Structure formats: structure tokens, C-alpha cells
Structure 1
Amino acid sequence: MIREAAASDREALATILYRASRDVFPLAGIERVDAAEFDRQTAGESILVAEKDDRPVGFSSVWDPDHFLHHFFIDPAYHRHGIGRSLMVATMMRYGSALSLKCNTSNTTARTFYRAMGWIETDEPGGTSEGIGDWIWIRTPAAASALGLLPEGPDA
């Protein structure tokens, strides 16, 4: 089940953020994510929660003004159960199909997932973040088109 986050989810979502991000961002040296850190990282964002057996197992957070998918994490114990796909579909239905995100270049699992969901790795410059490493922009086709980032012409 996918639903909007409640205040009572904070600790569980902080744990998911910790478990998922320590493997994805090992350079960041993440030792703990508590509810206060979760609140700091998601301040002002809209959050959807994926549940299984009445407990949170994943979440997405979107910064609405920019249609920016800031966090998309599934508890590693629940990978490859269709939860990510369900959460992504719900996220796109809730926040619109013109979303963008940044993804660590070495996170091949996430990059494969986003491509399978129809997202596009654009040619625009990415960047480097301390502790996280190099990242690239990945956008839905609607977002890439709105920014003029899709190839044009009959061979596109």
C-alpha cells in the first residue's frame, strides 16, 4: 500500500534512509539517521510511504516547487519485491510526470531501475557532492522534453 507519510512514520523512515543510504553513499560516512536528521533532509518536501504488512518499507520525497525527487529509498530487505515500482508509479501519479532527480554515477542498480521505469539520463552537466561523489541528472521524458533535452527529428 502507498500512502502519505504521517508524523508517526518518522523513526521508521529514518531507519530506511540509514539502511539504504549507507550502501549507496559509503563515502558519506553515515553512522546514524534519526528522526531529527530525517526531518532536516526532507524539510518542506511531500512524502509518500510504501507499506508492507502494516509497516513502512520505503518512501519517496519530492520538493514540489521544482518537481525534484529528492529521496527514493526502499529498505534493502524489501528490494526486488515490486515495491519500488509501485512507489514510483504512485509518486509520478501524485506529483506529476515531469520529475527530475540526481543519481550517483556509481549507483548502477538505481540507474537501471530508473531506465526500466522510462526515465532518461540526460547529457546536461551533473556534479560532485562531498561524501557522495559524482552525480548525473535523470529525468522523466516529460521533464526532459520541457527543458528541450530530448533529441528531435524522425530518427530520435
Structure 2
Amino acid sequence: MNYTVRNSRPSDNGQLGDIYLNERRQTFTWVDPGKFSHEDFLAHSQGEIVWIAEAPDGEIAGFMTLWAADDFIHMLYIRKEWQGRGVGTALLKALPEWPRRKYRLKCLINNRNAKTFYAGRGFVVTGSGTSAEGDYEELSFIPA
């Protein structure tokens, strides 16, 4: 399926907050859902580049944020009904110089679907740590 990937606009923030809240509550089942709020998206994406993937009908299927100074992919969230349909791959392709540039991210160890997604796109484990949501692995995409 073809998606339109574009930079976000202020008018998108409500929908992005919805996606961020809903997908974290559905995915991070080991975390108290009360720890997540709608306002988290704006707080957590400050200073980041935000891309949106729109379906042909204009629906926002998912989004990705990048902390450009460190080539760090901070967030990549896809609505449940759009997962497994190429949205995440379309968003990665929006990254500057993808796939000729190194990028990194953190992925919670318990988030098996995300780990499988990233491994399938060439990301490898380059570190580990602990966050408020649990243990994570640092994953890096290292160009060939």
C-alpha cells in the first residue's frame, strides 16, 4: 500500500496524542496504564522531527519522531489496525539518507513485535539498559 509520509502539523497533535496513548496502553501491558497520559506526546516529542504516515484515505496510520542531533529514533508508533501493512517501513524510509546512515533507538525487551520489526530491517543490538517501562535494548542500524 502507498502511504504519504509528511512532517506533522500542529493540527495533528490531538490524533498523535491519541495514537501514542492508545498504543502504549495496548502494547506495554506490564506497565500501569495510569502512568500514560494524552499530554505525553507533546512532552516527549519536544525538539524532535515528527513524520506522519497517512493512508490513501487521509487517516493517520502512524508516526515517527527523531532526535536529529544524535540520529536517535525516539518514537515509532503505528495504529493497531495498520500494523503489519508497511507503515513502519514507509516511515523509516523518510529518515535522512536512509539506509546509508547510522540510526539508533531503544526498544523494550518485552515488546517482541517491535524487536522483530526492527531486526527485519537490519537493526542489531548494540547496548542495553533500564527505563521506567522496563528493560530495553539499544538497537542500531549500521549501513553496510
TM-score per shorter chain, which class? 0.7 to 0.9
Query: 8 Å contact 1:102–1:136 — kept in the other structure?
Result: yes
TM-score by length of 2: 0.87
Bigger strand fraction: 2
For residues 33 and 47 of structure 1, what CA distance do their matches in structure 2 show? 19
Counterpart residue type for residue 111 of structure 2 = N
Does residue 99 (structure 1) correspond to residue 109 (structure 2)? The answer is: no
Query: 8 Å contact 2:74–2:105 — kept in the other structure?
Result: yes
Counterpart residue type for residue 10 of structure 1 = N
Bigger helix fraction: 1
- Larger of the two Rg values belongs to structure: 1
- The correspondence of residues 74-89 of structure 1 with structure 2, limited to 5 A, is 74-89=78-93
TM-score by length of 1: 0.81
Deviation at 1:96, TM superposition (A): 6.7
Deviation at 1:73, TM superposition (A): 0.4
Aligned position for 1:48 = 51
Q: Could you report, residue by residue, the CA deviation over 1:56-86 in whole angstroms, capped at 9, with x for unpaired residues?
A: 1100001111111000000011111111111
Q: After alignment, is 38-47 or 77-86 more displaced?
A: 77-86
Aligned position for 1:19 = 22
For structure 1, the 5+ residue unaligned runs are 146-156
Counterpart residue type for residue 86 of structure 1 = A
For residues 92 and 64 of structure 1, what CA distance do their matches in structure 2 show? 9
Residues 108 and 59 of structure 1, relative CA distance in 2, 3 Å threshold: same
Aligned position for 2:130 = 128
Query: 8 Å contact 1:15–1:33 — kept in the other structure?
Result: no
Query: 8 Å contact 2:92–2:98 — kept in the other structure?
Result: no
For residues 96 and 43 of structure 1, what CA distance do their matches in structure 2 show? 26
For residues 96 and 11 of structure 1, what CA distance do their matches in structure 2 show? 33
Identity %: 28
Aligned position for 1:63 = 67
Deviation at 1:112, TM superposition (A): 0.8
For residues 78 and 138 of structure 2, what CA distance do their matches in structure 1 show? 20
Residues 105 and 92 of structure 1, relative CA distance in 2, 3 Å threshold: farther
How many residues align structurally? 139
